[in-house]
Amino acid sequence: MQDSKTVIIVIVAVIFLFVSFRGCNNNNERYQQSSENEQKVQYEKSPVDILIRNLSNEQNFSIILFDMDYIEGSDNYKHKYNALIERDDSVYVQKTDWVTVSNIFFDANIENMGMEIASKKNGKVNKAVSPAGYTNYVGNEKYGQWRERDGNRFWEFYGKYAFMSSMFRMTMFPVRYSYWNNYHSNYYGYGRSYYGPSYNGRNMYGTNSDYSRANNSSKWNSKPTDFKSRVRSNVSRSSSTKRTRSSSRYSSSSTRSRGGSYGK
């Protein structure tokens, strides 16, 4: 009789251990799946990342956020880019079509229209935001020179590269040596974004600047002010919510994992 009780106790213990082991495995499987989903949210490549990857064989390039747009009542955020690519003694311009971006990426670049949002110089990629052309072309004696006027020095492209002067709207917004030098001395290489000098509380460069508003072909510039204000507010709120939910899922998954490990 005693032997029968012992056998029953052993069987029950084995079943309990088996069920506990399966429960831990299920928790770990759920955690692994949750972690993979979290990584997809956190590390989903933006169109700029894809463009950088496609240009990986180039030693020097600049990617400019040329325009942006939003289809009201949807989750459809759009960007359009210009990529300037150096090859030998020439600079080529690669213009993208409209590409869809996430609300998080749109929100992160809401102030960066007309700006260089990624570049590569001598093989090194830089994602700090700067005025278009400041990293690779302005100040590069291969493409132009500093000219003195009225006691100040301004950048001037050689005739062969005059199209960049037009692209960077330098006729209306000439680049002073002091602006360019400030960028290269205090921002470039430090991971800091530069929007130029500020006048009356407004930066010289960026989405709301006179510089960007001078882009007459911009779809964003053609939108009413109240529309742009709504988009700014909505995308800020929605991208913040998405980040919070992602963070909550990650925290919850981590807690389950720690509990499962402890049970084991």
Burial environment of residue 110 by CB neighbours within 10 A (0 to 12, 13 to 18, 19 or more): buried
Looking at the fold, whether 75 and 144 belong to one and the same domain comes out as yes
pLDDT at position 28, please? 52
Containing structural domain, residue 252: 2-43+241-263
Q: How many domains does the chain have?
A: 2
What's the pLDDT at 112? Answer: 98
- Token look-up 């079509």 returns 97
Start-end of H helices in 44-93 = 47-54
pLDDT of residue 251: 42
Q: Is the pTM of this model over 0.85?
A: no
- 166 and 247 together in one domain: no
The verdict on 75 and 20 lying in the same domain is: no
pLDDT at 25: 54
Point out the residues of the chain with pLDDT beneath 70: 1-43, 241-264
Same domain, 82 and 138: yes
Evaluate whether residue 236 is within a structural domain: no
Q: Do 75 and 89 fall within a single domain?
A: yes
The 10s digit of each residue's pLDDT in 220-243 is 999 999 999 999 998 988 777 655
Burial class of residue 191 in the structure, from the number of CB atoms within 10 Å of its CB (0-12 exposed, 13-18 middle, 19+ buried)? exposed
- Whether 24 is in a domain gets the answer yes
Residue 133 belongs to a domain: yes
The verdict on 35 and 83 lying in the same domain is no
One domain, residues 132 and 200: yes
Question: How, if at all, do strands 99-101 and 144-149 pair?
Answer: unpaired
Q: Are residues 69 and 155 in the same domain?
A: yes
